[in-house]
């Protein structure tokens, strides 16, 4: 009664007392009496719907990499996120985590995401600045991520990210400042003349302060200190023990500056190709990751200060006037740079996000 058909064009017609159904390779031919074969028709339709449904629900695998060494402080929450997605997203999304800088070097990860070598990565907007310089503004604001989502700032930023082939999925770390760390005291309380390991987010600030910036991945700082290539480095409050820097560090200079940003970046085309169900699932997981990042830093920052003190790292606190001047220079230099790099969007972002 049923024959396989090479035609996949659906046809339904009544002709000369016969009923003909042809759907997804199923055919009922020359059947007299619609009622007696109604169940066969429904069975054929159900087969087609089950095939279509299975195709629509097919699990997608995303390849992911980390800009930070596996197991290090700024890698751990992302690694927990990967496990949670894989545990809860079965049949929907699976993340294949390929590792850290040993898989893709830190400064090459942004391009690897854009070109589809991997689909997403745990990195920072400092390391994606060569593609989306505007993303660095997340370091130059005192707005929280929640405030920026509610006010539409994140939507505006993602408009820019998507134009350049990326999507800013989640801010996995906030609520902490960056600091200067040195292996020698300041001359007359000034930073000018020092050689400091930097990154793109610091570049304009260092230039304006008379600091020589040496761009290095965090994993390269120890050797640079050992060989006197640099006098110190700029890093967040937490993280120096991951790179064994405490033995080469004598001072932490206060106040801290800028707002730490740790972000999960996704290939823009891949993000837009996800189904509504897959995006809704990842939106839920994003809320969990961002909350984890905020709570982790809030809980761990006081412990880190005590740990650095125990390791013999002393605090050099700039006087109020010098500290205020340093912070004013840091933010004005950063925003001037953003406006110069992005003449159209830079001024709008500055108006929305710069500290008042």
| Residue 267 scores a pLDDT above 70 | yes
DSSP of 108-140, one letter per residue? GHHHHHHTTSSSEEEE-TTTTTTT-GGGGGGGS
Residue 317's pLDDT band (cuts 50, 70, 90): very high
Q: How far is CA 17 from CA 20, 32, 90, 236, in A?
A: 10, 6, 48, 80
Same domain, 136 and 210: no
Q: Helix, strand, coil % (nearest 5) of the chain?
A: 45, 25, 30
Q: How many CB atoms lie within 10 A of CB 213?
A: 21
d(CA 149, CA 61): 27
Residue 277's pLDDT band (cuts 50, 70, 90): very high
Which pLDDT score is estimated for 356?
87
The residue among 9 and 72 whose pLDDT is bigger is 72
If we measure between CA atoms, which residue out of 285, 289, 291 comes closest to residue 92?
285
Which pLDDT score is estimated for 188?
82
**In Å, how far from its chain's centre is CA 52?**
33
Same domain, 148 and 266: yes
Which pLDDT score is estimated for 40?
56
Residue 270's pLDDT band (cuts 50, 70, 90): very high
User: Residue 144 is encoded by which pair of tokens?
Assistant: 């929280």
Same domain, 183 and 268: no
| Residue 324 scores a pLDDT above 90 | yes
| Residue 309 scores a pLDDT above 90 | yes
Same domain, 89 and 142: yes
Which pLDDT score is estimated for 57?
54
Nearest-10 Cα torsion for 100, 264, 220, 244:
-80
Per the listing, tokens 């994003």 go with: 286
Same domain, 122 and 169: yes
Question: Tens digit of pLDDT for each residue in 122-143?
Answer: 999 999 999 999 999 999 999 9
Q: What percentage of the chain has pLDDT greater than the value 90?
A: 82
Q: How many CB atoms lie within 10 A of CB 49?
A: 12
What value does the mean pLDDT take over residues 305-325? Answer: 97
Which residues lie across from 249 on neighbouring strands? none
19's enclosing H/E stretch is: strand 18-23
Question: Tens digit of pLDDT for each residue in 202-233?
Answer: 999 999 999 999 999 999 999 999 999 999 99
Same domain, 30 and 141: no
Number of structural domains found in the chain: 3
Same domain, 117 and 224: no
Same domain, 164 and 187: no
What value does the mean pLDDT take over residues 16-27? Answer: 37
Q: How far is CA 99 from CA 78, 118, 162, 263, 264, in A?
A: 11, 11, 25, 16, 14
Q: Please report how many Cα atoms fall inside a 13 Å half-sphere around the Cα of residue 93, on the Cβ side.
A: 28
- Average pLDDT taken over every residue of the chain: 88
User: Residue 217 is encoded by which pair of tokens?
Assistant: 């991945």
If we measure between CA atoms, which residue out of 177, 183, 197 comes closest to residue 326?
177
Same domain, 349 and 238: yes
Instruction: Choose the final residue of a domain: 15, 38, 56.
Output: 56
What value does the mean pLDDT take over residues 241-264? Answer: 97
Which pLDDT score is estimated for 296?
96
d(CA 101, CA 28): 59
d(CA 111, CA 109): 5
Which pLDDT score is estimated for 187?
83
Per the listing, tokens 């790179």 go with: 243
- Angle of CA points 7, 12, 17, to nearest 5°: 120
What value does the mean pLDDT take over residues 237-249? Answer: 97
Same domain, 18 and 154: no
Same domain, 27 and 65: no
Which pLDDT score is estimated for 215?
93
Q: In sequence order, what are the residues at sequence separation of 6 or more whose Cβ sits closer than 8 angstroms to the Cβ of residue 234?
A: 178, 179, 180, 181, 196, 197, 198, 199, 202
Question: Tens digit of pLDDT for each residue in 145-174?
Answer: 999 999 999 999 999 999 999 999 999 999
What is the domain extent for residue 308?
178-259+300-353
If we measure between CA atoms, which residue out of 227, 216, 218, 206 comes closest to residue 245?
218
User: Residue 79 is encoded by which pair of tokens?
Assistant: 């690694």
Question: Tens digit of pLDDT for each residue in 27-83?
Answer: 434 434 444 444 454 444 444 444 334 344 589 999 999 999 999 999 999 999 999
Which pLDDT score is estimated for 7?
36
Same domain, 51 and 64: no
Q: What is the DSSP letter of 318?
A: P
Range of weakest confidence among 37-51, 99-113, 199-213, 234-248: 37-51
208's enclosing H/E stretch is: helix 203-209
User: Residue 100 is encoded by which pair of tokens?
Assistant: 């850290």
If we measure between CA atoms, which residue out of 292, 268, 259, 274 comes closest to residue 124?
259
What CATH number does the domain containing 112 carry? Answer: 3.40.190.170
């Amino acid at each position: 009664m049923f024959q396989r058909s090479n035609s996949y064009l659906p046809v339904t017609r009544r002709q000369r007392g016969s009923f003909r159904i042809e759907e997804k390779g199923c055919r009922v031919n020359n059947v007299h009496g619609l009622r007696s074969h109604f169940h066969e028709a429904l069975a054929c339709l159900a087969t087609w719907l089950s095939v279509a449904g299975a195709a629509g629900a097919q699990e997608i695998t995303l390849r992911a990499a980390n800009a930070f060494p596996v197991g290090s402080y700024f890698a751990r929450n992302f690694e927990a996120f990967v496990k949670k997605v894989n545990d809860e997203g079965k049949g929907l999304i699976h993340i294949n985590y390929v590792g850290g800088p040993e898989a893709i070097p830190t400064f090459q990860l942004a391009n690897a995401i854009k070109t589809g070598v991997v689909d997403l990565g745990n990195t920072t907007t400092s390391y994606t600045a060569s593609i989306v310089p505007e993303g660095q503004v997340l370091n130059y604001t005192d707005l929280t991520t929640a405030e920026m989502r509610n006010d539409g700032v994140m939507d505006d930023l993602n408009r820019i990210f998507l134009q350049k082939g990326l999507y800013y999925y989640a801010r996995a770390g906030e609520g902490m400042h960056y600091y200067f760390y040195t292996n020698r005291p300041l001359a007359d309380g000034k930073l000018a003349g020092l050689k400091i390991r930097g990154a793109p987010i610091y570049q304009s600030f260092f230039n304006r302060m008379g600091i020589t910036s040496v761009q290095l991945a965090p994993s390269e700082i120890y050797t640079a200190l050992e060989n006197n290539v640099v006098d110190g480095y700029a890093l967040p409050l937490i993280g120096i023990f991951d790179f064994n820097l405490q033995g080469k560090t004598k001072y932490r200079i206060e106040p801290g500056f800028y707002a730490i940003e740790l972000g999960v970046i996704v290939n823009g085309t891949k993000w837009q190709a996800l189904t509504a169900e897959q995006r809704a699932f990842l939106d839920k997981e994003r809320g969990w990751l961002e909350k984890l990042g905020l709570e982790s830093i809030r809980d761990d920052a006081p412990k880190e200060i005590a740990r650095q003190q125990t390791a013999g790292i002393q605090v050099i606190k700039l006087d109020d006037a010098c500290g205020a001047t340093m912070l004013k220079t840091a933010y004005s230099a950063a925003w001037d740079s953003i406006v110069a790099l992005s003449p159209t969007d830079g001024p709008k972002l500055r108006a929305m996000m710069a500290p008042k």
